[in-house]
Amino acid sequence: MKRVYSWSILMAFVLALMLPMAARAQGTTASGSTDMQSGTQSQPATDAAKKEEPKVEKKSKAKKAAAEKIDINTATKEELMKLPGIGDVIADKIIAGRPYKSKSELMSKHMMGKAAYGKVSRMIIAKQAAPAK
């Protein structure tokens, strides 16, 4: 004998199974927002707490991230090889193909594939040399 379940009954069953797992992952129960292990009441972050974070730190993080990027026009072979997906051969190709107007030229000049470029694109820059006077 075949049983036919309607879509809504099936979805209700799946949600009934998933809700307790999601609540446990967040440390809450389905009936309230009490943490089962510690018995403490969890509180959501307020807008005031978010605003208290100093903006100076955000700017310094951005400058630090920019400073950590490797310039493909001036980097040594060892610096290039520290990047994921770049080995001895690719580092030599990058050095031989200098100078670059943009970092995307690594793909357009076939120095590396799309997957390898995706891994390193956020870690590199291509600074232009100052024109000689």
In a domain, residue 106? The reply is yes
- C-alpha distances out from residue 67 to 56, 91, 95, Å: 16, 21, 21
* 43 CB neighbour count, 10 Å cutoff: 8
**The CATH number of the domain where 105 resides is what?**
1.10.150.320
The parent domain of residue 73 ranges over 68-125
Which percentage of the chain shows pLDDT scores above 70?
A: 57
pTM: 0.49
Residue of 68, 84, 93 whose CA lies nearest to 119: 84
- Residues 64-101 as b or e (16 or more Cβ within 10 Å = b): eeeeeebebbebeeeebeebeebeeebbebbeeeeebe
In a domain, residue 80? The reply is yes
User: Which residue is associated with the tokens 């493909």?
Assistant: 72
In a domain, residue 62? The reply is no
Residue of 84, 118, 81 whose CA lies nearest to 103: 118
Q: What is the pLDDT of residues 37-88, one digit of tens each?
A: 555 555 555 555 555 555 555 555 555 555 689 999 999 999 999 999 899 9
In a domain, residue 25? The reply is no
In a domain, residue 82? The reply is yes
Q: Are 122 and 85 in contact (CB under 8 A)?
A: no
The pLDDT-based confidence of 130 (bands split at 50, 70, 90) is confident
- Structurally, the chain folds into a number of domains equal to 1
